[in-house]
């Protein structure tokens, strides 16, 4: 497969850097365009970016010149596949502009996640929601652009664990309490005197995002819109002094009774993308750790190269039915890695720009089957 040219909006930020790390050697995509705010446009990437990852800044990327973050200023050079790592307020303005210009905007922002015609996607869970993008005005204007989003960083890890349980037993209600890493706040993030030796029991809009997004992700596409899952979801979200890795304590009530063995089988057999050979898809999206004190961010955050959810401490719940603890990497699976996997699925389904016009009648087929 010829590598497709891609660009990154918000390239100097924490998630933008993670996009660069994941895409630099990607077999399907090649970074050819980087954009940032007015204060950084025109500078070499190495001069504008304070690189914070544990791998070196790629030498090729270091020499690239940052472009203005508007499609009009770069008409000839902007690739038609754009990974967006923007704050929500900025995304509300820029992402539709790039979509209207004919770009596939694969977004990490919360700006359009709950918009009725924007797919909110975890490929292992609801790749069959992606044809919803064909209902977007920008996709129907003749240029083929659109917006696709990945979920909140906590929702991704949670829903990966929930999806096989919903499929087999049905979910009526759940309670989730999160312990979220500081990297989820971006850079410079939470001031050290606020977080060291402390827990902050508030993250703006986080509980609302988690409660809304779960039911859209686990809902069903009726051909025109998403029918939301009618489960009750209650969330408490906390910031803790961990660098990477969101931990979540979950209690859940099923529609149908389930044994421990049946729950473990649902997780271990959950491999819906295995036959599609996508570069970023983990072999096992959900990994159960039998140790009594796992998962732990320090030990388990990089499971599946940061793309798997690790689950542990499965036990009966005296209030609901079952409870467990899960962990996921918030800037890999919870951000850039999720968007890259979404792009791989779009390519596999022939839904990238240049392909969409040929597949509108057949794009409703599911990538995966239950």
- Quick one: 234 and 94 in the same domain? no
What is d(CA 212, CA 35) in angstroms, rounded to the nearest whole number?
31
366 band by pLDDT with thresholds 50, 70 and 90: very low
Annotation says 246 is catalytic: yes
CB 310 within 8 A of CB 295: yes
Beta strands, E only, the chain: 4-9, 29-36, 67-68, 81-84, 104-107, 146-149, 171-180, 199-200, 220-221, 226-227, 232-240, 246-254, 286-289, 309-316, 322-328
- Quick one: 210 and 292 in the same domain? yes
- Measured in residues, the chain has a length of 370
Closest CA to 168 of 231, 229, 272, 256: 256
The mean per-residue pLDDT over the stretch 295-313 comes to 98
Residue 193 lies inside a defined structural domain of this protein: yes
Which CATH number do you get for residue 110? 3.40.50.720
Pick the catalytic residue from 139, 153, 154, 237. 153
- Quick one: 175 and 303 in the same domain? yes
* Tens-place pLDDT, residues 135-160: 998 888 878 899 999 999 999 999 99
The mean per-residue pLDDT over the stretch 194-221 comes to 97
Which CATH number do you get for residue 267? 3.30.360.10
What is d(CA 165, CA 369) in angstroms, rounded to the nearest whole number?
16
* Tens-place pLDDT, residues 258-275: 999 999 999 999 999 999
1 band by pLDDT with thresholds 50, 70 and 90: low
Alpha-carbon distances, residue 280 vs 263, 270, 306 (angstroms): 26, 16, 10
367 band by pLDDT with thresholds 50, 70 and 90: low
Whether residue 202 has pLDDT greater than 50: yes
Look over the chain and give the mean of its residue pLDDT values, rounded to a whole number: 93
- Quick one: 110 and 170 in the same domain? no
pTM: 0.95
The mean per-residue pLDDT over the stretch 82-97 comes to 96
- pLDDT of 144 reads 86
What is d(CA 116, CA 137) in angstroms, rounded to the nearest whole number?
12
CB 238 within 8 A of CB 179: yes
- pLDDT of 71 reads 87
The mean per-residue pLDDT over the stretch 282-309 comes to 98
356 band by pLDDT with thresholds 50, 70 and 90: low
The mean per-residue pLDDT over the stretch 56-60 comes to 97
Number of domains in the chain: 2
Residue 25 lies inside a defined structural domain of this protein: yes
CB 122 within 8 A of CB 157: no
75 band by pLDDT with thresholds 50, 70 and 90: low
Beta strands, E only, 228-301: 232-240, 246-254, 286-289
């Amino acid at each position: 497969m010829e590598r497709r040219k891609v660009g990154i909006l918000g390239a100097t930020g924490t998630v933008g850097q993670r996009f660069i790390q994941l895409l630099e050697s990607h077999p399907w995509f090649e970074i050819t365009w980087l954009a940032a705010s007015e204060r950084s446009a025109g500078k070499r990437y190495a001069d504008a970016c304070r690189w914070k990852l544990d791998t070196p800044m790629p030498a090729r990327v270091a020499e690239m010149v940052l472009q203005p973050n508007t499609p009009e200023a770069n008409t000839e050079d902007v690739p038609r596949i754009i990974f967006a790592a923007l704050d929500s307020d900025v995304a509300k303005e820029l992402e539709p502009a790039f979509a209207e210009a004919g770009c596939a905007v694969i977004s990490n922002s919360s700006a359009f996640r709950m918009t009725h015609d924007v797919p909110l996607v975890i490929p292992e869970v609801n790749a069959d929601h992606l044809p919803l993008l064909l209902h977007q005005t920008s996709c129907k204007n003749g240029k083929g652009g659109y917006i696709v989003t990945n979920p909140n960083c906590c929702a991704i890890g949670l829903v990966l664990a929930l999806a096989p349980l919903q499929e087999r037993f049905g979910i009526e209600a759940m309670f989730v309490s999160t312990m979220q890493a500081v990297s989820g706040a971006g850079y410079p993030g939470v001031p050290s005197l606020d977080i060291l030796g402390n827990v902050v029991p508030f993250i703006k809009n986080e509980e609302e995002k988690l409660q809304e997004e779960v039911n859209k992700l686990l809902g069903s596409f009726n051909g025109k819109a998403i029918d939301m899952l009618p489960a009750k979801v209650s969330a408490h979200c906390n910031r803790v002094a961990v660098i990477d890795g969101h931990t979540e304590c979950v209690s859940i009530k099923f529609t149908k009774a389930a044994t421990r063995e049946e729950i473990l089988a649902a997780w271990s057999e959950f491999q819906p993308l295995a036959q599609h050979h996508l570069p970023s898809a983990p072999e096992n999206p959900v990994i159960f750790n039998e140790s009594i004190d796992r998962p732990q961010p320090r030990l388990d955050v990089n499971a599946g190269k940061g793309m798997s959810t690790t689950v542990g401490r499965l036990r009966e719940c005296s209030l609901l039915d079952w409870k467990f603890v899960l962990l996921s990497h918030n800037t890999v699976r919870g951000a850039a890695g999720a968007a890259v996997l979404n792009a791989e699925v779009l390519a596999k389904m022939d839904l990238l720009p240049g392909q969409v016009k040929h597949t509108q009648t057949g794009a409703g087929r599911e990538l995966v089957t239950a």
